[in-house]
Structure 1
Amino acid sequence: MVHLIGPRESRQSVVCMSAGRITETALNCSLHSRPSTNRLCEAATVTTGGNVYEYLDTAQEIEQRRLDAVRRYVLVDQPVEDAYDRIAFLAGTIFDTPIATVSLVEHDRVWLAACQGLVGVREVGREPGLCASVIARDDTYVINDAAVDPRTFAHPLVRGELGLRFYAAAPIRTHDGYRLGTVNVIDNRPRQATPRQLQALEHLAALVTDELELRLSVIRSTATRAWENRS
């Protein structure tokens, strides 16, 4: 049995500092999602002598807004829906991998809205290197051999029974700029991905976004009708 549930503990952002300045590297490494670097810095511009705690407060606020975006779709902790299951199936077929998932990155875990190839698994830990790192970027993310890649070689899914080696993912981006999670594929052997495969993965992530927006429309319509009936 593959044990995939990681420890649920909050993790602090790593802040790079030099001579009292939060460096550009620290901003670019943020795991908190907004449409652009400018929005990452929207609450404050930190210069020499700036307050590191002010930056951390800003990063936490941005992450909270991302989590609010994840939760507005009411998909975490819900049964698998056919639309997302089909997208995961297509991703695995395109890459010919044994595992493919549609994931949402929550506060302390990664919820699998759909999972092909791991029966009964619905969540994994939010350790950096895989899905938790994908939401820091707008483009695709590829690990060709996780056992030697410094981003992932210590990850529980790499060192554990699953023996993850290949991982490719595209972020799921909402229309208002939040990165909620990923469409990803996994293999237990090292391999390469073609540009066409990665482009297909981005299209599948966009399809997830479309499905989520339809879901949100239904949620809001239902709430509006319920309010009107009470009036």
Structure 2
Amino acid sequence: MIVAAIPKNEAQRLEALHSLEILDTPMDGDYEHITALAAYICKTEVSLISLIDKDRQWFKSKKGTTLCETSRDNSFCAHAILKPNEILEIPDARKDLRFIENPLTKADEPVVFYAGIPLLTTDGMAMGSLCVIDSKPKILDEGQRMALKSLGKQVERLFDLRLKNSALEQAKNSLSKHNDLLKDFAGTVSHDLKMPLSNLILTSDILKKKYEGMLDETGLTYLGYLKKSSLSMSKYITNILAHYESTAYDRDDAHNFQLNEMLEDLVDLLDIKYECEVHLPDTNFEIHCNRSALEQVFLNLIGNSLKYNDKKRTIISIGAREMENYFEFSVRDNGRGIEEDKLDTIFTLFSTIGHLDRDGEKGHGIGLSTVEKLVDSFNGTIKVSSELGKYTEFVFTVKK
């Protein structure tokens, strides 16, 4: 018996193997299908996906044996990885100097025939092999060799996907941590900025009341500007915080509720001061989703229909349709409309179309970006259509 030599790139090879984080992991159906197919095509009793660790060979998948691992010194696959680009085929191990007296050839289920194709990483490191084994002498035909190579490529693709998924998971965790820090920062800044703004608003009211008789019209106007600017800044900060908190809605935090009852509550909450008609859906669907998130979407859309309407009488029509896999909702108004060249950027954060609302204030470009993020959390889509002077309509979906 001859123990397999250690590859010259052993340190790098082991590093690549351990980076897969695959050793001692549970059975996996994707790998099991490959070993089953390899044994069937090559007509052998056993098929293995073997990974060569420092002192052992461990089987990620096995067909026809109860063994989970063996010593590396006894491993046939340890010989296979020495020539990464070739199939190692041993018709009868009992006649091969490398394996005479090998304990595996004398086991109750002896390894007599062996054929293994090395399994490589994308940079050519041999992790182990896909091998087929039989207790009787055998020689593969050309078709079987080609099939074994093809199946080996499938295992390599699974390795590559595992690495990429691991990298994506790490990136996701990093982004999640960064997002949490950003939310904490936004919350802290929001609190720290809104307190002095509240003091400014309160102080301007006190100054106006206490010194009203001493200030001329210009002075009172400046105090009004101060209060109005402070209120606008406070609202801006609130909207930013709401935007970054929009991803915090938990899709699993869902329950059943009646759509029209929710919409009626929202209309009452808006306390509309303008002459306005709000038409609710004809059918009062029972919806199952995160109600708070859906309320936030409708509040933004209905609120915009109210703020940016230039008609004497505002008309808002809310539609709802139940499809096989999702609900479709629409909010349509009879307002001033949106220019066609602005429609593509309307959901971009901080992007505005330049219109002043009923109170003469310009939007901050946060609300619709928040709406898009919330709809995305529903695994839905949102789109807008509009005609200047006639209407604007938002249509969005919520996956069931």
Answer whether TM exceeds 0.5 for this pair. Answer: yes
Letter of the aligned partner of 2:58 in structure 1? W
- Change in CA separation of 1:130 and 1:110 when aligned onto 2, cut-off 3 Å: same
Match of 2:45 among 95, 98, 104: 98
* Match status 1:175 vs 2:122: yes
Distance apart, 1:230 and its partner CA = 2.2
Structure 2 residue aligned with 1:190: 137
* Match status 1:135 vs 2:78: no
Q: Give the alignment of 1:1-231 within 5 angstroms.
A: 31-32=6-7, 59=8, 62-119=9-66, 121-127=67-73, 130-137=76-83, 138-231=85-178
Q: In the aligned structure 2, how far is the partner of 1:192 from the partner of 1:135?
A: 20
Whether the aligned pair in 2 keeps the contact of 1:165 and 1:188 (CA below 8 Å) is yes
Whether the aligned pair in 2 keeps the contact of 1:167 and 1:187 (CA below 8 Å) is yes
SS in 2 for 1:172: strand
TM-score, normalised via structure 1 length: 0.72
Q: In the aligned structure 2, how far is the partner of 1:128 from the partner of 1:143?
A: 15
Letter of the aligned partner of 2:82 in structure 1? A
SS in 2 for 1:78: coil
Q: In the aligned structure 2, how far is the partner of 1:161 from the partner of 1:126?
A: 19
Whether the aligned pair in 2 keeps the contact of 1:153 and 1:159 (CA below 8 Å) is no
Larger mean Cα displacement after TM superposition, 221-230 or 110-119:
221-230
Highest RCO, 1 vs 2 (Cα 8 Å, sep ≥ 6): 1
SS in 1 for 2:98: coil
TM-score, normalised via structure 2 length: 0.42
Q: Deviations over 1:3-62 (max 9, x none)?
A: xxxxxxxxx98xxxxxxxxxxxxxxxx542xxxxxxxxxxxxxxxxxxxxxxxxxx3xx2
Larger mean Cα displacement after TM superposition, 201-210 or 221-230:
221-230
Q: What stretches of structure 2 of length at least 5 have no aligned partner?
A: 179-400
Larger Rg: 2
Letter of the aligned partner of 2:89 in structure 1? V
Distance apart, 1:129 and its partner CA = 6.0
Q: What stretches of structure 1 of length at least 5 have no aligned partner?
A: 1-11, 14-29, 33-58
- Change in CA separation of 1:73 and 1:129 when aligned onto 2, cut-off 3 Å: closer
Q: In the aligned structure 2, how far is the partner of 1:162 from the partner of 1:118?
A: 8
Q: In the aligned structure 2, how far is the partner of 1:78 from the partner of 1:224?
A: 22
Distance apart, 1:125 and its partner CA = 1.4
Distance apart, 1:198 and its partner CA = 1.1
Distance apart, 1:128 and its partner CA = 5.4
SS in 1 for 2:157: helix
Letter of the aligned partner of 1:135 in structure 2? I
Aligned length in residues: 176
Letter of the aligned partner of 1:200 in structure 2? A
Identity %: 29
SS in 2 for 1:127: helix
